[in-house]
Amino acid sequence: MIARLLGVGALVVAAAVFPAVAGAYPVKLLQEILVWGVFAMSLDLLLGYAGMVSFGHSAFFGIGGYVAALALKQSPHLLSALVLPALAAALAALVIGFFSIRVSGVYFIMLTLALSQMFYAYAFQVAWLGAEDGIIGVPRPRLLGLDLANATAFHLYLVALIGLAALVLWRVVRSPFGHVLRGIQENEGRMEAVGYAVQRYKLVAFVMAGTLGGVAGSLYTQFVGSITPDAFFWTTSGEALLMVIIGGTGTLWGALLGAGAFILLQSLVSSYTERWMLILGLTFVLFVLFAPGGIVGALSGRVGRRA
């Protein structure tokens, strides 16, 4: 336990001091990995713990991203950068979750997919969100007198926030609440029979995951400085699922690892060939067929996925 905490602490410190030893491009890659890592971990809370396969997680990523973009343009402060995006994503998750948890299995997949596409359709169409061009030129916030336009400050801010998000998720899945979620994943009927308000637990999990997904989206906007409707597109959800699957579901750090593998593979492959999507698709197919436990599963010798 202590060894593990020390290990995680060492990783956080390593990530924090990374810019001191690495060039601009590797630092950018690391930041990208961290942002997508939060998004993938928030999805893993649903996928790997509650057993809810959401194909609509991009809705929260996009909402967080757009709200941050709009708010930061008004006033570049903490409230705009984190609080408003998180609240907006939480609200959206409450509404989408309310509809979606009424159904399960493939219906849940299709409903979450379609509801997130609704946001894509809207953002793609309306002028106040910049239609298909999205919102560009978003300033980074000022935080406690620190200007995050400064590269070092921004890096530390990202690492700290992502560490915090991971800590929160880790506490959640270890809590009694997290164990109830696992119980629901194992056997929903049984949990209902022993008296748990299963639907309420699922909704809370959905809102939690959505909120963190919104934070990830907001961080993405701050990282890139812009947001486009593509953030809402359903392939964003699919790619996040892919990260979780490649890394290994139900472990949280597997999601982070998967995000890392995804981003690194993407940058590696696209520097050699234009056929990134082909390699991506192939990798994915091979993982699903031959390594359903993901990287974590392969490392620990676990073959099947907990499903």
Q: Pick out residues in 13-72 that bind other proteins (CB under 8 A).
A: 53, 55
Alpha helices per DSSP H over the chain: 2-21, 24-44, 58-74, 78, 84-100, 106-125, 151-174, 176-186, 188-193, 198-224, 234-247, 253-272, 276-290, 294-300
Size of the site for other proteins (CB under 8 A): 43
Q: Pick between residue 14 and residue 131 the one whose CB is nearest to other proteins.
A: 131
Per rule CB under 8 A, is residue 284 in the interface with other proteins? yes
CB atoms within 10 A of CB 157: 20
Applying CB under 8 A, the span of 36-44, 85-93, 201-209, 272-280 interacting with other proteins comes to: 272-280
Per rule CB under 8 A, is residue 292 in the interface with other proteins? yes
Per rule CB under 8 A, is residue 289 in the interface with other proteins? yes
Cα–Cα distance, 49 to 287 (Å, whole number): 20
Give the position of tokens 């194992």. 186
Applying CB under 8 A, the span of 20-28, 57-65, 202-210, 271-279 interacting with other proteins comes to: 271-279
Q: Which of 268, 278, 299, 303 binds other proteins (CB under 8 A)?
A: 278
CA-based nearest residue to 141, from 167, 161, 165: 161
Per rule CB under 8 A, is residue 204 in the interface with other proteins? no
Q: What is the 3-state secondary structure (H, E, C) of 118-177?
A: HHHHHHHHCHHHCHHHCECCCCCCEECCEECCCHHHHHHHHHHHHHHHHHHHHHHHHCHH
CA-based nearest residue to 222, from 141, 150, 134: 141
CA-based nearest residue to 46, from 144, 185, 183: 185
In the 8-state DSSP scheme, what is residue 49? I
Closest distance of CB 113 from other proteins, Å: 7
Per rule CB under 8 A, is residue 134 in the interface with other proteins? no
| Tokens standing for residue 50 | 């509650």
Per rule CB under 8 A, is residue 224 in the interface with other proteins? no
Q: Which of 241, 243, 257, 296 binds other proteins (CB under 8 A)?
A: 241
If you count them, how many residues does the chain have? 307
Closest distance of CB 293 from other proteins, Å: 12
Closest distance of CB 99 from other proteins, Å: 6
In degrees and rounded to multiples of 5, residue 123 shows phi and psi of -65, -35
Q: Which of 14, 22, 118, 160 binds other proteins (CB under 8 A)?
A: 118
Q: Which of 14, 17, 78, 121 binds other proteins (CB under 8 A)?
A: 121
In contact, 255 and 265? CB cutoff 8 Å:
no
Q: Pick between residue 124 and residue 157 the one whose CB is nearest to other proteins.
A: 124
Q: Pick between residue 17 and residue 114 the one whose CB is nearest to other proteins.
A: 114
Per rule CB under 8 A, is residue 234 in the interface with other proteins? yes
Cα–Cα distance, 117 to 94 (Å, whole number): 17
Q: Pick out residues in 86-115 that bind other proteins (CB under 8 A).
A: 99, 102-103, 105-107, 109-111, 113-115
Binding site for other proteins (CB under 8 A): 53, 55, 99, 102-103, 105-107, 109-111, 113-115, 117-118, 121-122, 124-126, 234-235, 238, 241-242, 245, 275-278, 280-285, 288-289, 292, 304-305, 307
